[in-house]
Amino acid sequence: MSSRISVPPFLRQLRGDPLGLGRAAQSSRSARLEPRTRTADRVVQSVCPYCAVGCGQKVYVKDEKVVQIEGDPDSPISRGRLCPKGSASEAYVNSPMREHRVRYRRPHGTEWEELDLETAMDMIADRFLETRARTWEDADEDGRPLNRTLGVAVLGGATLDTEENYLLKKIFTAAGAVSIENQARI
Ligand code: SF4
């Protein structure tokens, strides 16, 4: 056991850390660790992708790989802070559980299938167009114009930024959808 641990905490505080918030409270293992922020090749300023708060992040890169993500003190929005999700976003990049493929489970299917992105996008577009055409309403029973579909609804997520939400609202309103909502309001 190292000398750091064998010295009683109170004495360690007296040795220059009276509040016990720094070295006095540090384990010998922690003292040996080197932060990934210190060994990075470069730091890139970015914005947390999780929610519309848009907290500033510093992305630490080593050998062209993201090795750590920290709060950015220069951000006027978050001033260096990140919530637990934002603090864990390094795993968002590097987790071995991250899904890189499109997975599809067809109606009544019991297994996931893999699709290429182009096929998946075409399937979504085809279904959207077919549903819109099938459920389109020109007018109500008194002949008053409706020009809408109740067969399509949109639910935006809080990871969408202002510009994406603007485009979603604009595109789906133009397509005749009236049920347009965002997760942040629910
Ligand atoms: S998820 Fe957390 S860290 Fe990321 S932008 Fe939202 S509040 Fe900020």
User: Residue 1 pLDDT > 50, yes or no?
Assistant: no
Residues contacting 68, CB < 8 A, separation 6+? 35, 36, 37, 40, 59, 60, 90
* pLDDT, average across residues 88-109: 93
Task: Report the atom number in ligand 1 closest to the C-alpha of 54.
Answer: 5
pTM for this entry? 0.64
What the chain holds in terms of domains, given with CATH numbers, is 1-33 (no CATH), 42-94 (2.20.25.90), 117-185 (no CATH)
Q: Between the CA of residue 133 and those of 13, 107, 146, 171, 184, what are the distances in Å?
A: 74, 21, 14, 16, 30
The three-state (H, E, C) secondary structure of 169-180, written as one string: HHHHHHCCEEEE
Tell me the residue type at 29: R
Measured distance CA(86)–CA(175) in Å, rounded: 35
Cα 66 from Cα 17, distance rounded (Å)? 34
CA of 127 to the centre of ligand 1 (A): 33
* Residue 69, ligand 1, Cβ within 6 A: no
Confidence of residue 2 (pLDDT cuts 50, 70, 90): very low
